[in-house]
Amino acid sequence: MFQDIAPHVLYNQWEVKAPQSGDMIIYSQGEKVFMRLDGERVVLPSYGECKELGEFRFLLKLDEKGIFMLFPKNEVEMVEKLTLLGYELMDKFNFRGKAPNEIAFAASVAFHLTSFYEKNKYCGACGSAYRHSEKERALICPKCNQHLYPRINPAMIVAITDGDRILLSKYAGGYYNRYALVAGYAEIGETIEETVHREVMEETGLKVKNIRYFTSQPWPFTQSLLIGFFAELDGSPEVTLDDGELSVAEWFKREDIPKDDSTLSMTKTMIEYFRTHPEEF
């Protein structure tokens, strides 16, 4: 999956650290990030290329290389310089599926943080400008002392099975047109298992039982932690589609599952797991 970068290691421990010339720099604006694409390879600017452009804050370490956020002193100059060097503000999803995978994944996690800092410049309680804590990964309001930590949104993905069949669906209206699984964010006050029951009922009208945890995946593009489950159909297999959410939901026999060897996403990994482990279902 996207986060499987071994033998490389992404260190997410908070530190105060100064950048070195080979370290990587990340700068995002809304849903876009400065990057360069060399065919299927993704490159982030280096500290050596950016050191005159502003101030830097340590975010993460990929093996021995730091990843720092750029706070430009002059945005126009910064954009000019990075553009001259061949970098471009591109949609965050360009990291998905790019090589080397460890840089694509680390950069997307770094984007999770830059996006958090960019969208939280002022205290929501009193309106003062936040300061970065010098003790932990947090923003602190100097006036009312509110502490704000990077947010992670829990969401579940569920593969609904019925013997040798699995329910595959397509999202309505999204850019993503391949077969997927039922998914949704946890609402306040519910367990993640309750999220599974609720979303399955809302999107397909089906009931499920024997919910079994499979694995999880950090999904930095939407600041999420995806929690994956298998669940068995309980009762009627008749699907009632919520067409605002899904455009299609169909039962596929194991041998008819559309072939897709990319296991970057948890969804595809789960579909592939169902296909290759008939003894478990």
Site string for Zn ion, 65-104 (x = CB under 5 A): ----------------------------------------
Q: Does 129 bind Zn ion (CB under 5 A)?
A: no
Residue 123 interacts with Zn ion (CB under 5 A): yes or no: yes
Tokens of 191: 């367990």
Binding residue for Zn ion (CB under 5 A) from 126, 213, 250, 253? 126
Q: Which is nearer to Zn ion, 146 or 263 (CB)?
A: 146
In degrees and rounded to multiples of 5, residue 90 shows phi and psi of: -130, 155
Task: Tell me if 141 contacts Zn ion by CB under 5 A.
Answer: yes
Tally of CB atoms within 10 A around 1: 20
Cβ proximity to Zn ion, 143 vs 147, nearer residue: 143
For residue 23, which amino acid is it? D
Provide the minimum distance between the beta carbon of 144 and Zn ion in the complex, in angstroms, as a whole number: 3
Q: Measured from the CB atom, is 130 or 274 closer to Zn ion? A: 130
Angle, CA of 158, 160 and 161, to the nearest 5°: 140
229: closest CA among 219, 217, 215? 215
Closer residue to Zn ion (CB): 141 or 183: 141
**Which string of DSSP letters, residue by residue, matches 53-99?**
SEEEEEEEEETTEEEEEEEESSHHHHHHHHHHTT-EEEEGGGGTT-B
| Shortest spacing between CB 150 and Zn ion, in angstroms | 18
Q: Which stretch binds Zn ion (CB under 5 A): 51-59, 135-143, 202-210, 226-234?
A: 135-143
DSSP-based helix, strand, coil % in the chain, nearest 5: 25, 35, 40
State in angstroms the smallest separation of the CB of 151 from Zn ion. 17
How many CB atoms are located within 10 Å of the residue 62 CB? Answer: 22
End-to-end CA distance of the chain: 22
Q: Give φ, ψ of 235 to 5 degrees.
A: 100, -145
Q: How far is the CB of 59 from Zn ion (least distance, A)?
A: 24
Look at the block and give the residue holding tokens 């002059």.
74
Q: How far is the CB of 178 from Zn ion (least distance, A)?
A: 44
Least distance to Zn ion, CB of residue 6, Å: 42
Q: Residue type at 52?
A: E
Of 144, 244, 262, 276, the one binding Zn ion (CB under 5 A) is: 144
143/151 with CB nearer Zn ion = 143
What would the two tokens of residue 223 be? Answer: 């600041």
CB of 131 to Zn ion, least distance (A): 11
Q: Is the CB of 124 or the CB of 154 nearer to Zn ion?
A: 124
Regarding 9 and contact with Zn ion (CB under 5 A), the answer is no
106 vs 141 by CB, closer to Zn ion: 141
Handedness of CA 232, 234, 236, 242 (dihedral sign): negative
**Footprint of Zn ion (CB under 5 A):** 123, 125-126, 128, 141, 143-144, 146
